[in-house]
Structure 1
Amino acid sequence: MTQSSDDQPRITTERDGHVLLIGFDRADKRNAADFRMLQELSLAYAELENDPELRVALVFAHGDHFTAGLDLADVGPRIGADGLDITAEGGINPWQVSGVSLTKPVVIAVQGTCLTLGIELMLASDIVVAAASTRFGQLEVARGILPFGGATIRFPRAVGWGNAMRWILTGDLFDAAEALRLGLVQEVVPDGEQYARGLELARRIAAQAPLAVQAALANARLAVRDSDAAAEAALQPDLVRLAASEDAAIGMRAFLSRTPAEFVGR
């Protein structure tokens, strides 16, 4: 059920075991992000980060469209001399371009229209599932601004310079097949199946040892953001730390007994 009244939340949160379900809930506006929606999303990301019981998030959208991008009529006037701060007090910038990064993975399921900040949220996340009919667009240059949620940083790195500039500099729309070819999405599924598949992947991640998942994610990000050398230097210390964890003992017992592991995050 979607909300339309201005006093209603723009973001829904629900727990599925160790998975936090974060839903865009402004379907009457094609989930265009106004300032309130951006702030509520930042608080949902902080909930994921700060709750030790949560291991992964699935971000999805209520209605037919993932997002039509920024609600410029609402957000545009808020751009001041220092830019735009969309992070609520106690929140975490979901696009992770403010110097604070998540330590836990995010899966995204997209459908319908996925524009601008939607692509940037995908790029800031870890696994993306798209419905087959999804249409994508990095449209900022057509609106007189530039992508400010990380596309200029992550898009070229993810898909190659020419592939990124093809879409960033033209503002053209592209389809799910092109997004898959580029590597912007990891799976394309029939329309209507993106949420179920995204949840399946999120649950699969949540079933793994959470400290190990976070360490693997952190080391991969260290290599990308700093250097291979920095990531290499962290490998053995991280291995020693993880090997001493309760979860490592649980994993070894499960391996020897050939039974499923029930990890505890310690």
Structure 2
Amino acid sequence: MTDQPRILTERRGHVLLIGFNRPDKRNAADFSLLQQLALAYGELDRDPGLRVGLVYAVGEHFTAGLDLADIGPRLGPNGLEMVPEGGINPWQVDGESLTKPVVVAVQGTCLTLGIELMLASDIVVAAESTRFGQIEVTRGILPFGGATIRFPRAAGWGNAMRWLLTGELFDAAEARRLGLVQEIVPDGAQFHRALELAEKIAAQAPLAVAATLANARLAERDGAASAEAALQPALARLAATEDSRIGMQAFVTRTPAVFVGR
């Protein structure tokens, strides 16, 4: 780890802000950044007071991808081991999934692991001038943060291979067409819009949000039949919670619900 934090964290109510903080290097990810990011994801997952993560970047660019000068010598026979104790792999390609949703705000340049972080997250807001690129093939490696799995699933095979195999850059409009981005906003507005969405999610019943996310991921990983079999048991568990009672009471009285996560 370095004295200067590579990742900034801040609690904003029930939202954990997670900021890339290496603007002088266009937020390129060295080993310290990867480790600190994994620890921030671990904090988000463990803390019952946190309901949503918001990933953003300090400076003009989201990320220029891996700092290969720092990462290259660390690649061993098993690839890159970057998750310290207490952390969670932010790209979730090691069998462990985050149990809480993540919103991502991107701007400037968003390369390689940045796209893969978007694909591993749940909602993405992009500044309109953002440029994207899955450029690993131009560096003699392959995407190892999930793009080979999630990009074709999100965009369709040909749409994904068009960019995965050429390494060319594309714009925010194309990213939205491909399903990588959900909203495009004017430059400079991406963080505030992402925070609005994160706070909207955080205001919902956290157990219900987690159950919804888990069932959708179960369907994605194990297929529709597995997710279908889990629906009624999940509904029964949620119906017995205090939050379910709060939600029903709010419906009857037409007042806002304030959920407690129990």
Q: What does residue 37 of structure 1 align with? A: 33
Report the 3-state secondary structure (helix = DSSP H, G, I; strand = E; otherwise coil) of the residue aligned with 2:19.
strand
Q: What does residue 96 of structure 2 align with? A: 100
Unaligned runs of 5+ in 2: none
The C-alpha deviation readout for 1:217-244, integer Å capped at 9, x for no partner, is 0000000100100000000000000000
The C-alpha deviation readout for 1:188-226, integer Å capped at 9, x for no partner, is 000000000000000000000000000000000000100
- Answering whether residue 126 of structure 2 is matched by residue 141 of structure 1, we say no
Query: Matches of 2:35 and 2:2 in 1, distance apart?
Result: 14
**One-letter code aligned to 1:176:** A
Q: Write out the 4+ residue segments of structure 1 that deviate beyond 4 Å after TM superposition.
A: none
Query: Matches of 1:67 and 1:52 in 2, distance apart?
Result: 29
The C-alpha deviation readout for 1:42-83, integer Å capped at 9, x for no partner, is 000000000000000000000000000000000011000111
Query: Matches of 1:231 and 1:27 in 2, distance apart?
Result: 41
Q: What does residue 193 of structure 1 align with? A: 189
The C-alpha deviation readout for 1:115-173, integer Å capped at 9, x for no partner, is 00000000000000000000000000000000000000000001000000000000000
**One-letter code aligned to 1:14:** E
Q: What does residue 10 of structure 1 align with? A: 6
Query: Matches of 1:178 and 1:265 in 2, distance apart?
Result: 38
Query: Matches of 2:202 and 2:68 in 1, distance apart?
Result: 36
**One-letter code aligned to 2:71:** V
Q: What does residue 164 of structure 1 align with? A: 160
**One-letter code aligned to 2:194:** G
Report the 3-state secondary structure (helix = DSSP H, G, I; strand = E; otherwise coil) of the residue aligned with 1:180.
helix
The C-alpha deviation readout for 1:87-136, integer Å capped at 9, x for no partner, is 11211000000111001000000000000000000000000000000000
**One-letter code aligned to 1:168:** L
Q: What does residue 208 of structure 2 align with? A: 212
- Answering whether residue 223 of structure 2 is matched by residue 227 of structure 1, we say yes
- Answering whether residue 247 of structure 2 is matched by residue 251 of structure 1, we say yes
Unaligned runs of 5+ in 1: none
TM-score normalised by structure 2 residue count: 0.99
Query: Matches of 1:100 and 1:257 in 2, distance apart?
Result: 40
Over the matched positions of the two proteins, sequence identity in percent amounts to 78
- Answering whether residue 68 of structure 2 is matched by residue 72 of structure 1, we say yes
